[in-house]
Each structure stands twice: as structure tokens, then as C-alpha cells.
Amino acid sequence: MTATKGSTVPMKPADWTKNLPRPAYKNLKKISAEDNWFSVYDLGHGTYAIYEDGQYEESISYLLLGKDRALLVDTGNGIANLRAQVRELTGLPVLLVNTHHHIDHVGSNYLFDEIAAFDDDMGLARRTAALGYFHEKAKTYIGGSAVWKPYPEGFDPAAFCIPPYRITRWLIDGEIFDLGGREVEVLHTPGHSPDSICLLDRGARMLWVGDMFYTGQIYTWLAGGDLNLLIRSYRRLVDLSSHYDLLMPSHNEPAIEKEMLRKALDGAVQVRDGSGEYIVLEGGRRKYDFGRFAFITGPDGK
């Protein structure tokens, strides 16, 4: 194992936009969006990716359409009106499902009436719903080089916050949403956070993985993060791999090949076992780089 001591490498490089546009989007069908803040892609099987490429997190929300209702996976950063964008795509009743409680997944929750989330043992999902995220926290997502696109009309960066919202349904591991001719299964997958879930659509052969995996820097050090639980959840998802072909992460790129999840499992095991190489980032955190993805841990490698 090697380390670069005394390094001050930032976690968020100022030149992050050099990765844009990401090559993966060249092969996807882009459709028009009234609000330029969102880039919308038709993934087939009645599924849309709503991509916020103007902000560093590059959050992706997904809209899944059935015959009777729609399911929205996460609501991004809350900078633009996601409800209006969803209504451009469907007139069906919409159930919002959060993959977890972090700020860049619940930004527009307050705009929706039906919200489902997993109730974690630490109470993080409940506390976030009750309080939202105050301006002092939210402003860190728009300062400096975090945003490159013009803000949407009416957005006030000086007042930006994530308002509280009401969770109307607490999820159970293994439950199934019937959207009408389309079923989506809930999988509780703690590790990145205690309330993290994935969503499996066996018919469309898609797996929504939230922040369990994406091409980029995967955090294990945030509140409630647990590397051992992450590994356990990875194994569960890999064991289900005969039921999906594509991973649908909540950041950077959609429609990732499922083999990347097995590589993430192998990498996480290396990190846990102390055999992975790393560099030291600002704050003493460690970055274990595996090419298309990396794990960012605390100073203790967890």
C-alpha cells in the first residue's frame, strides 16, 4: 500500500467541466426540455434520465412510466423546477422514491405530494425530511466552480435552501411497486448511507443504484457510511445480476454495464483489507482509484 503524505489534493477539482460532455451520452437519445437546466434522455422501456449537468454533482433523476402511474427516482439539487420537467414528460400520478436522504437527492422533494423513503436506524431520513437543508449547507453546492450553467429564471442563490418535505410512505425491503404493467422492487442496501436503497426492474432489466455505484468518487466516510455494509450490499446486488443488464446511478452517467458492480465489490474488498493503494486528499481523507470509479474514505481507510 502506498500513500502520498501531506497532500492537499482537493476532492472537487476546479476544472471538473473538462469531463463534459461525457462520452456515454453520445449513444443516448436526447429529447427537448423547456428548462435548459435539465438535459433529458430517453433510455427506452418508458424510462427517462433527467440530468443536471450544470452543477458539479451531475445529479440524475429518473422517471419510470407504467400504464397507471409513474415513479420518480430522486429529485436532484433543487436548483430548477423538477416537477415542471416531470409534467412535460407525463400526466400520470407520480410517486417519488428517494434512494437516500443526501441533499443532492432530495432537492425538489418539497414539490411532490407522494414521497417514499427508507426509515434508517439513525433517523437521518426523518430528520432531513423535517428540517430540509438550510442555506448555510445548500450554498456549498452552488459556490465557486460548482455551477457552470446559467441559473434558471427566478433562482435566487442568496436564498437557496432545501425546504422540509413530508414522507408519506416508509419503504420495506422487498416490497414491489406496481406501476401498471411494470413492477419495481425495493432493495435495502446500506453502506453509502444507512437508508440507501436500490430499485430493480426485472422486466426492463435495469437496476437503480443511487450512490452505491457511479463512475466517479464514491464516498464511504459520510455520516452512517459503513464499508463492511457496502461490501455486503454489493454482494447482494451481484448475486441478483442475472435479473438486470444496466446500472442506473444517480450521478454522472446512466446505463452503465452491470459488470462494473462486480469490479466495485472487488475494489471495496481491497480497501477494507488494506491492500489498495491510495493518495491523501484534503482533510486527510483517502482516495482509492480504480479507473472509472474511486472510493473516498476517512483518514482511517473506512
The β-bridge partners of 246 are 206, 257
Contact yes or no for 57/104 (Cβ under 8 A)? yes
What pLDDT band is residue 268 in, cutting at 50, 70 and 90? very high
Q: Read off the pTM.
A: 0.96
- Domain-embedded: residue 200: yes
Residue 18 lies in a domain: no
Closest CA to 297 of 189, 191, 140, 197: 191
C-alpha cell at position 175:
416490497
Residue 229 pLDDT > 80: yes
Q: Which CATH number belongs to the domain containing residue 181 in this structure?
A: 3.60.15.10
**15-27 burial: b if 16+ Cβ within 10 Å, else e:** eeeeeeeeeebee
The Cα 44–Cα 206 span in angstroms is 11
264 in a domain, yes or no?
A: no
**pLDDT at residue 11 greater than cutoff 90:** no
Alpha-carbon gap, residue 241 to 207, rounded angstroms: 9
Domain annotation covers residue 265: no
Mean pLDDT (the chain) is 95
Task: Domain count for the chain, please give it.
Answer: 1
